[in-house]
Amino acid sequence: MISKSHRAGNRKWDRDHMATIGCRLRKYQAEQFKEYAKKQGTTANALLKEYVLNTLQQDNNKTSSNV
């Protein structure tokens, strides 16, 4: 179990260095996506994060090769 001060430090670090992004979907679409993620053995959040990071990496690779 972590101490209250350690937890507070973690929250401060997250507040200073992390951001949350999202999108709005119809409820049935969100549920379908969650079910898809579950069938893949992961979560909706993990799939979205993987997509974002892969997209940024691909963009960085394109930018680097155009120099």
Tens-place pLDDT, residues 12-62: 999 999 999 999 999 999 999 999 999 999 999 999 999 999 999 999 998
Ramachandran angles phi, psi of 37, nearest 5°: -60, -45
pLDDT at 22: 92
- In eight-state DSSP terms, residue 24 is -
Residue 33 pLDDT: 98
What is the C-alpha separation between 46 and 66, in angstroms, rounded?
A: 30
Query: What pLDDT score does 43 carry?
Result: 98
Alpha-carbon distance of 61 to 51, in angstroms, equals 15
**Measured distance CA(11)–CA(4) in Å, rounded:** 10
Q: How confident is the model at residue 67 (pLDDT cuts 50, 70, 90)?
A: low
